[in-house]
């Protein structure tokens, strides 16, 4: 099964976690000045490492994972920084197939926190939580010295904490769609301009942005920076076969043809993410930054898996044996309109004619009506609940939105645990139980299914 990550020494608990979360009171505060000062006081640990920088609205994590798994299978030591996490805090900082350990998190966490406190004592503005975590990651990667660090932007690009790096090997753009409009802009071109801020002088740019106007913004910024530009958005991917557990894809890119690539991440959108990752790897190989063994590349891409992205957490064995359903339980963090659209397309394609029960909870600051447009096309059988976030939409309000569409919810619950219990009671009448919506909800459900608890580590991620 994919997602085999060593987390035996990572629990996401400990004094440092609570202390880091205290910085959340400074909220979303884009800009580089605070982090640059914090890193300077820590000795600039971000310098001297080789980065691959990934921005976009959806698909960033999957693209990062495809590249991380492929490079690792080809013999490279790879660090990967992601956000938000699904189950435990340690997921955000990964290296060579493992999460940062609790001991390492305490060591580098207190170093970063003490310097942040020193900044406040000196009369400077406090770093945000995201910036403190970014500093911890750089300290950790400085200590282990990976061959590459893959950085996933948390939000936007230009003012994102990951953008403190100066000389990436490549900058990749997965998509541009509507999300976080209150911060990033109200049009796709405004959002694209913010994301294009990660482009650095001369660093190759690889773009799989479909919207023409948004793509043009990125292309123009690349030209301004003298950055070689590769646009793969119009190159078709051929999905030769697929099922809920895997698919086989072929694609002909400027850097070469990739035939019959198998991956455990299924769906048209994952084929597009695979294309983006392959295009970046092709560019790195052309530039001499990597040497990729074809067999290792295939092995790594096939093993790549990403939690909470059309992830089958129950019913895998039954499907593998005879194609029957137990029912199959799937988690998908479709938390914006583009994600909901992709989920609808994949679910209807994989489960045509099957009975689907959907459990959803959505953040109130999302485009809830547009998300529901897609969810209600998957199935009218819906349980509503609430994500673990102060930004959550009340289950009662979400239920009313469904009733306004002529759909009476199967159950209305106020917690993820209650939502899971309701689904289990009704599951015998369905072939598929699909949990979708906020990543906060998906993380809680995944913890309960995999570990029998819902210890979220007092999560305060802001990227969902």
CATH of the domain at 177: 3.40.1190.10
Q: Supply the pLDDT for residue 1.
A: 40
Q: What is the mean pLDDT of residues 366-374?
A: 94
Q: 457 in a domain, yes or no?
A: no
CATH of the domain at 408: 3.90.190.20
- Tally of domains within the chain: 2
Q: Supply the pLDDT for residue 240.
A: 96
- Residue 277 in this model has a pLDDT that exceeds 80: yes
Per-residue confidence band for 51, with pLDDT thresholds at 50, 70 and 90 = very high
Find out whether 246 and 291 touch, Cβ atoms under 8 Å: no
Q: Supply the pLDDT for residue 181.
A: 47
- Specify the length of the chain in residues: 464
Q: 459 in a domain, yes or no?
A: no
DSSP line for 260-290: EEEESS-SHHHHHHHHHHHHHHHHHHHTTS-
Last residue of a domain, one of 270, 303, 336: 303
Find out whether 430 and 355 touch, Cβ atoms under 8 Å: yes
pLDDT in tens, 96-137: 999 999 999 999 999 999 999 999 999 999 999 999 999 999
pLDDT in tens, 390-405: 889 999 999 999 999 9
Cα 374 to Cα 345: distance, rounded to the nearest angstrom:
9
Residues 228 and 339 in one domain: no
Last residue of a domain, one of 303, 337, 357: 303
Percent of the chain with pLDDT over 90: 71
Selection from 291, 265, 292, 327 nearest residue 59 by Cα = 265
Residues 26 and 60 in one domain: yes
* R_g of the chain computed on alpha carbons: 21
Backbone angles phi, psi at 98, to 5 degrees: -145, 160
Q: Supply the pLDDT for residue 176.
A: 84
Residues 51 and 159 in one domain: yes
pLDDT in tens, 404-444: 999 999 999 999 999 999 999 999 999 999 999 988 999 99
- Residue 460 in this model has a pLDDT that exceeds 50: no
- Residue 280 in this model has a pLDDT that exceeds 50: yes
Residues 369 and 387 in one domain: yes
Q: Supply the pLDDT for residue 320.
A: 53
Residues 139 and 229 in one domain: yes
Q: 460 in a domain, yes or no?
A: no
Q: 7 in a domain, yes or no?
A: no
Q: Supply the pLDDT for residue 286.
A: 96
Write the CB contacts of 376 (distance below 8 Å, at least 6 apart in sequence): 382, 402, 405, 407
Q: What is the mean pLDDT of residues 299-318?
A: 86
Q: Supply the pLDDT for residue 458.
A: 47
Give the pairing type, strands 170-173 and 328-332. Answer: unpaired
Q: Supply the pLDDT for residue 23.
A: 86
Residues 169 and 263 in one domain: yes
Find out whether 343 and 320 touch, Cβ atoms under 8 Å: no
Cα 9 to Cα 26: distance, rounded to the nearest angstrom:
30
- Mean pLDDT, the chain, as a whole number? 89
Could you give the 3-state DSSP secondary structure of residue 152?
strand
Q: 458 in a domain, yes or no?
A: no
321 or 56, greater pLDDT: 56
Whole-Å CA distances, 308 to 173, 331, 435, 443? 21, 5, 9, 8
Q: What is the mean pLDDT of residues 41-62?
A: 94
pLDDT in tens, 56-65: 988 899 999 9
Selection from 422, 274, 286 nearest residue 361 by Cα = 422
Residues 149 and 237 in one domain: yes
Q: Which residues pair with 380 in a beta bridge?
A: none
Per-residue confidence band for 160, with pLDDT thresholds at 50, 70 and 90 = confident
Residues 319 and 239 in one domain: no
Give the pairing type, strands 205-207 and 170-173. Answer: parallel
Domain of residue 94, residue span: 15-303
Range name among 23-27, 214-218, 254-258 with the lowest pLDDT average:
23-27
């Amino acid at each position: 099964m994919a997602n085999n990550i060593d987390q035996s020494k990572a629990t996401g608990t400990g004094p440092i976690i609570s202390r880091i979360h205290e910085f959340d009171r400074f909220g979303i505060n884009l800009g580089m000045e605070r982090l640059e000062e914090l890193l300077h006081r820590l000795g600039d640990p971000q310098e001297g490492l080789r980065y691959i920088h990934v921005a976009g609205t959806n698909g960033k994590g999957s693209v990062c994972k495809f590249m991380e798994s492929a490079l690792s299978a080809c013999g490279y030591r790879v660090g990967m920084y992601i956000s938000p996490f699904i189950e435990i805090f340690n997921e955000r900082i990964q290296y060579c197939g493992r999460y940062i350990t609790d001991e390492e998190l305490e060591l580098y966490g207190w170093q970063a926190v003490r310097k942040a406190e020193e900044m406040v004592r000196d009369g400077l503005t406090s770093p945000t939580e995201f910036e403190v975590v970014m500093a911890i990651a750089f300290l950790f990667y400085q200590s282990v010295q990976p061959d590459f660090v893959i950085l996933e932007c948390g939000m936007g690009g230009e003012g994102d904490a990951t953008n403190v790096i100066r000389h990436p090997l490549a900058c990749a753009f997965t998509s541009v769609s509507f999300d976080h409009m209150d911060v990033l802009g109200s049009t796709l071109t405004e959002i694209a301009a913010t994301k294009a801020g990660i482009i650095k002088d001369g660093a190759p740019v690889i773009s799989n942005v479909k919207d023409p106007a948004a793509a043009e913004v990125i292309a123009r910024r690349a030209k301004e920076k003298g950055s070689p530009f590769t646009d793969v958005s119009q190159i078709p991917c051929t999905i030769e076969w697929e099922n809920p557990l895997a698919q086989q894809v072929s694609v002909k890119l400027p850097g070469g043809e990739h035939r019959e690539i198998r991956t455990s991440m299924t769906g048209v959108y994952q084929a597009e993410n695979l294309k983006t990752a392959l295009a970046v790897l092709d560019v790195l190989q052309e530039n001499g930054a990597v040497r990729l063994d074809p067999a290792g590349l295939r092995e790594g891409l096939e093993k790549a898996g990403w939690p909470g992205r059309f992830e089958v957490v129950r019913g895998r064995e039954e499907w593998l044996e005879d194609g029957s359903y137990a029912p199959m339980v799937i988690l998908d963090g479709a938390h914006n309109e583009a994600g909901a659209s992709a989920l609808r397309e994949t679910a209807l394609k994989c489960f045509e004619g099957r009975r689907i029960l959907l459990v959803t909870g959505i953040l109130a600051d999302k485009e809830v009506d547009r998300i529901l447009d897609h969810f209600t096309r998957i199935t009218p059988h819906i349980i509503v609940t609430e994500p673990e976030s102060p930004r959550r939409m009340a289950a009662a309000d979400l239920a009313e939105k469904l009733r306004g569409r002529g759909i009476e919810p199967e159950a209305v619950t106020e917690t993820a645990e209650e939502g899971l219990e309701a689904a289990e009671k009704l599951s015998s009448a369905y072939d598929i139980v699909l949990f979708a919506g906020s990543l906060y909800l998906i993380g809680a459900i995944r913890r309960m299914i995999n570990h029998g608890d819902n210890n979220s580590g007092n999560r305060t991620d802001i990227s969902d």
